[in-house]
Amino acid sequence: MKHGALLFCGVLTAFSASWWGLVAYPQRQLSPLTTYLGTNDAGNSYQYPNARSGEAVQGRQVYASLGCVACHTQQVRPSNGGNDIARGWGRRRTVARDYLNDSPVQLGESRLGPDLANYGERLGTNAFPLARLYNPRAVVTNSICQPLPFLFESRAIRSSGPATDALVLKGSYAPEAGHEVVPTLAAHQLASYLKSLQTSVELPEAPLPVVTEEASK
């Protein structure tokens, strides 16, 4: 390589190409994406994605700060690219629009734990079991998810009576008599965020699978 200037220009071109291709162009392609306004089968209009509640937004910060993304992804691959849908982690693949309101986006790269893109949907109408954050093994036997006791306060039951949101813990996880385990604000925020994780809404780019009568039986 005799010509330093030529080398420099070559390197610069390669850098710029990669930058334009994978930073600038995707920005151009994705920035027009907006909230989808649609009508469901019953004729009611809906919009998606909806902004998360303030509590859930705070919870997303707790989620990011604790590094939950190290073990939990939040993405459902299409049925021809993995068995995420067959496992029940979502009814359709996730698409760019699902993450429109999220920052930081926590797609994740490792699945030591289950995918959480539709965790809220799996909970259904049940409240989030806060005990799962206090000690996952109190709810799921054998789980290797780490306990987060620092999101809870273990204290003596106050004279005004036990806290309304005190955890109901059984067996070895139960606090000693006269004590209770009460979730902190951060625990409630994280729970609210996890509860808000739902993506099963019909989108033109990601239709929900048609449930035939045979399949529903």
Computed on alpha carbons and rounded to an integer, the radius of gyration of the chain in Å comes to: 23
Nearest residue (CB) to other proteins, 39 versus 110: 110
- The residue whose two tokens read 């705070």 is 58
Shortest spacing between CB 21 and other proteins, in angstroms: 7
Shortest spacing between CB 159 and other proteins, in angstroms: 27
- Which sign, positive or negative, has the C-alpha torsion 171, 174, 176, 179? negative
Nearest residue (CB) to other proteins, 39 versus 111: 111
Nearest to 188 by CA among 50, 67, 54: 54
The rounded distance, in Å, linking the Cα atoms of 120 and 126 is 9
Q: What is the dihedral of CA 31, 72, 187, 201, to 10 degrees?
A: 50
Shortest spacing between CB 6 and other proteins, in angstroms: 10
Helix (H, G, I), strand (E, B) or coil at 180: strand
- Which sign, positive or negative, has the C-alpha torsion 127, 43, 201, 98? negative
Nearest residue (CB) to other proteins, 41 versus 109: 109
Tokens representing residue 140 in the block: 């799921």
Shortest spacing between CB 167 and other proteins, in angstroms: 16
Nearest residue (CB) to other proteins, 58 versus 94: 94
Shortest spacing between CB 196 and other proteins, in angstroms: 16
Nearest residue (CB) to other proteins, 26 versus 39: 26
